[in-house]
């Protein structure tokens, strides 16, 4: 088994508000800081997902799913594999809030490869 790469104690965090099927969620993406002096951002190593109503069934499911997604990333699973494993609507869009979070993983990965991912 691949060893888990635990995130550093100091991380950058980005929060994105979304709405999915009439419910509001917040996606949090934790990224390692590659160079603290320049605030260079490394890969996403944590995902948080919370529904608007704390401790509701939706919130618990979303949060638990995000924890598992974080662990997949920390054990070395490529973000593209996580994204492609998620269910989709007939138009190809993610069918769940967790799928939307996975789409942000891919978006950030593309930006990093294109060199357009900058500082926080």
Domain spans of the chain, in order of start: 11-114
Per-position DSSP letters for 60-108, written without gaps between them? HHHHHHHHHHHHHHHTT--HHHHHHHS-B-TTSSBSSHHHHHHHHHHHH
Rounded to the nearest integer, the mean pLDDT of the chain is: 89
Using one digit for the tens of pLDDT, what is the confidence trace for 14-63? 999 999 999 999 999 999 887 765 567 888 999 999 999 999 999 999 99
User: Which band of pLDDT confidence, cut at 50, 70 and 90, is reported for residue 65?
Assistant: very high
Share of the chain above pLDDT 70, in %: 91
């Amino acid at each position: 088994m691949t060893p888990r790469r635990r995130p550093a104690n100091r991380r950058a965090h980005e929060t994105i508000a979304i709405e999915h099927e009439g419910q509001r969620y917040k996606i949090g993406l934790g990224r390692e800081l590659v160079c603290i002096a320049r605030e260079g951002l490394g890969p996403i190593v944590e995902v948080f997902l919370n529904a608007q109503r704390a401790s509701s069934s939706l919130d618990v499911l979303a949060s638990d799913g995000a924890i598992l997604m974080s662990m997949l990333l920390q054990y070395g699973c490529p973000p593209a594999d996580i994204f492609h494993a998620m269910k989709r609507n007939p138009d190809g869009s993610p069918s769940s809030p967790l799928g939307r979070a996975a789409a942000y993983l891919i978006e950030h990965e593309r930006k990093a490869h294109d060199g357009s991912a900058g500082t926080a």
